[in-house]
Structure 1
Amino acid sequence: MRDTPYLSVDERLLEVNLSAMADHARTIGVDLRPHAKTHKSIEIARRQLAHGAVGLTVATVAEAEVFADGGIDDLFIAYPVWAEGPRAERVRALASRVRLRVGIDSIEGARMLAQATTSGEHPVPIGVAVEVDSGHHRTGVEPAQAGIIAAAAADYGVRVDGVFTFPGHSYAPEARASAAHDEAHALATARDSLLGLGIACAVVSGGSTPSVDAATGRAAGGVLTEMRPGVYPFYDAQQWELGTAGPGRIALTAVATVVSVRGTRAVVDLGSKVIGADRQSWATGFGRLPAHPDARIIALSEHHATIEFADDGAGAPALGTRLRIAPNHVCTAVNLADELVVERDGNDVAVVSVDARGANT
C-alpha cells in the first residue's frame, strides 16, 4: 500500500481522453498540438504523439528544453519570449536541434529573436507566430495589427508561420461557445491582416480545453488549422464545473486518507501543497470528489482539506478511508509532484516522472 497523499492517473481514462481529443481534431480538420504544461511528462507527451499530435505546445524555454531532451522535435513556445542574455543562447540552441516556433506580440520581440538566431556566422532557423488578443486580455496584439508584427519579423529574417491566440475567457460559466466565436473572429481578422500584406499564414492556432468542442476547423469551413488544448488528458474539477467533462472523465486524482472526522465533516491528509490553492470565484470548493459529487472541500490549508459531506444520515467516511480528490486546476497540482502513479484496474502499473516540473524560465 502506497503512503498518501499522491497523484494517481487512471490509465484507461487517460487513453479515453487522449483518443477522444485526437478524434475530435481529425473530425473538424485541424492539427492537434497539445499544451504540455498540464502534464509536464515525456511519457504522456509520447502517448499524445502516438494518437496523432503533430508536436507539442509549451509555456517556457525550459519546458521546451526538457521535451527536446526527451526526443520531441517539433515544439511551439506559445509565449512572447524575450530573447536576451542566457535565454537568447538557449533559444538558439533549441532552434538548432528541433523545429521551433515561438510566440511574438511586438516588433521588439521579433527583433530580439532574430538577433538570437539569425545573426552571426551560423544562423539557425526559427519560426514565429503572432499572438492576438481574442478576449482574454492578457498577451497578444489587436487582431488587425498582426500583419504589421509579422511583416517586421519577416524583414528581420525569421520564418513567419502564422497567428495564434488563447481564448482564456472560456474559463467562465456559460462562456465556452462565445469564447470559441470570439477566437474564430479574431483569428480570421489576424490571418487576413497577414494575407493583405502578402505574408503567407499557414498556421492559425487556437483552442483551450473548454472551448474546443465549439471550435470549427477546415472540415467545416472554419479558420482554425491547429488547436492547443492542455487539460484534456486529465480534466479536473474546473472542467467538471464548467461542463466540459463529467466526473467520469477525470483521469487524475489526488489520493488522500481521512485523518479526522466530526459529524458530516472529514479532514484528509493533503492540502494546497498537493492539489494547489487555485479557486475561481465561481468554483463551489477547493476541489471535487468524483465518487461523492455532493461533497465539497470547504477549507484548505497546506496539509489539510476539510470536506463537507451531504447530511443524509450517513455522516462522513470513517477514519482511514481513502478518498480521491480532483484538483480544481490540474496543471498546478502536477507541478507540485515529482511523479504520477499510473493505475490500471485499481492496481499500480507504472510511475511516470513529472519531467518538466519547475521548468519555469
Structure 2
Amino acid sequence: MSTPSPYDNLPDAQGFFGKFGGQFVPPEMKQVMDEISAAYQEIRQRKDFQDELNYLLADYVGRPSPIFYARRLSEKLGGARIYLKREDLNHTGAHKINHCLGEALLAKFMGKTKVIAETGAGQHGVALATACALVGIPCEIHMGTVDIAKEHPNVTKMKILGATLVPVTRGTATLKDAVDSAFDEYLKDPQNFIYAIGSVVGPHPFPGMVRDFQSVVGREARAQFMERYKKLPDYVAACVGGGSNAMGIFTAFLNDESVKLVGVEPAGEGLDTDRHAATMTLGKPGQIHGMACYVLEDSEGNPMPVHSIASGLDYPGSGPQHSHLKDLGRVEYASANDNECLDAFMMLSRVEGIIPALESAHAVAWAIREAPKLSQEQSILINLSGRGDKDADYVAEKLGL
C-alpha cells in the first residue's frame, strides 16, 4: 500500500491545512459557514451541477485555455524555455471566472437573494458580476477608492453588468478594507446573502472550495504539457496575493516532486521598507478574516497596511494552504518589486505581444530574473492569470507613454 501524500485530503473536516485555516468566526457565523460547507459538499457530488459547470467552463469561459511557448522571450533571455498558461484568454480576462461561476451556481442552489464580494484589481468583481448576470442573482461589489481610481475599466464593466458598486474609503481604501466592508454588509443578513470570497482565503469552506474550482487550471496544464512535450515542466510559477491562481495551477503538481513550485509575491517598493505585501516572505502565523495563516502584522499585532503596484496582490494575509505548503517546504515563495513588475509588463508586451495583468507580471518578472540561470533544457511554466487591459492606462501614465 502506498503512503498517503501529505498534500492530499486537505482541508480536514474542521477546515484546517495543518495548523492553518479553520473557522475563526462568531458562533452565529459558524452555523452559516457550516451550512455553506454542507451545501457545497452536496452540490459538488451532483451530476447536474458538474455537467452545468463543465458546460459553462467550455462554452462560456472558453476552456481549456492554451499553453503558449514564449519563444522570443526565451531566446532574448537565454536559459530556460518559458511557457504561459493563458488564463488571460478566458471570458472576463482572468482566472477569476473559474470560481465565480461555481460560487454563483452555489448561491442559486442555496436560494440566496444577493451575492456580496470584495475586489482589488476588479477582476474578481467583473467575473462575479458576469456570473451573477448569467444566473440572475443581484450582485454587490465592495472596492477601495484607491483601486477604483487605478482600475477604472473594470469599474465600468461591473456597472454595465448590473452590479452595485460600493466605494470603500476606510483605512488604506484598498483590498483588505474592501474585504472588511463586504463582510460587514454580509453580516446584516447572512441567511439570505452569500459572501463570494475572491480567493483561497477566509473561513472554511472557502479556501478549499475556491481551490477546487480553480484546480481546473492545473489539471489542464499538466495534461497539456505532458501531451505536447512528453514530460513535466521543471518549474511552475504563479503570483501570490490571496493565492487562488497559484493554488489553481499548483494543486495538480503537488505530488510531482520533480516540479519546483514557486509563488511570487509583491516586494512593492522593497522588502526593507514597509511598502510591500510579501506575506509569505516576511509574515508570521496569525489570524485574519476568519482564518489562521501567515499575516503581516504591525507592532500591536494588527494587520499591517500593505502596498503593491498590483491591486489584486496588496493583501496582508495569504491562503492557509499556501501557509501550510510553505511550512512543508513544498512551495518556494519568492518576490518581485514594483519596478521589476513594470519591466516584465513591458517586456512581455513588446517581445511577445501579450499585455499581462500587473498581478501576473510578478510571476513573469521572476521568470525573467531566473531563466538565464537555468539551462536551455529546462522549462518554466507561468500561470498568466490575467490580461492587462485594466492596467494599461495606469501603466502608460506611470511610465509616461
TM-score w.r.t. the length of structure 1 is: 0.35
Q: Which has the higher helix share?
A: 2
TM-score w.r.t. the length of structure 2 is: 0.32
- State the structure with more CA Rg: 1
Q: Which has the higher strand share?
A: 1
